[in-house]
A = this chain, B = another copy of it.
Amino acid sequence: MKASKDTRQRLINSASDLFYSRSYGHVGVKEICEKAGVQKGSFYHFFPSKEKLTLAVLDEHFAFFKDEIIARSFNPAIPPMQRIDLLMENAYLFQKKIKEETGKTLGCPYGNISAEMSTLSESIQKITSDFFHRIEVGFIGVLEEAISKGDIEAINVEATATAMVSYIEGIMLLAKNRDDPELIKSLSSALSQIRIEE
């Protein structure tokens, strides 16, 4: 049972590294198995397809993101709008670490795979859409609290939250393109200033 769990996890870790540093379409089951040290026959015991494995990989990214970025940023002890700045700071630190570890700025794993796969896989479209929505829900809570405290004027909180997610995803895309995590830092101040009027 434990060995089986380990094998499954090794496949997830292997696929996670390969997809994130390259792309979904450029990584095959054979390579994922080789990197994980798992026989190709075993792969299909754990996952019916590369697509299903990808969903497990993205769930894993989310667990990390929730603990390392969301929980550290959306801290109720901090004034609401400052949490948004902190989210960008943590996103910057994460991308800097990724570059130190892998040699490259890899951007947002959800943004990357969404750009590549949204029109090709309904389940990958859905899981990435859910991810963006979860971040939006976080922003909506922060914005509503800021409005109720009188820190900001009344705005369209839903649209503003979507605009904030868009801005982050665009920054991540450009940071990956330029292989430069410092870009995140230099553009971060505008995030908490975004407003869509009612």
Interface residues of A (CB under 8 A from B): 21-26, 104, 106-107, 111-112, 114-120, 125, 128-129, 132, 159-160, 162-163, 165-171, 173-174, 176-179, 183, 186-187, 189-190, 193-197
Contact = CB atoms under 8 A, between A and B. Distances in A.
Contacts of A183: 162
A177 B125 contact: yes
Nearest to A23: B116
A36 to B, nearest CB: 21
A152 to B, nearest CB: 14
A119 B132 contact: no
Contacts of A179: 118
B21 A23 contact: no
Nearest to A107: B115
A177 B25 contact: no
Given A167-B170, A190-B194, A195-B190, A23 B117 contact: yes
A162 B179 CA distance: 15
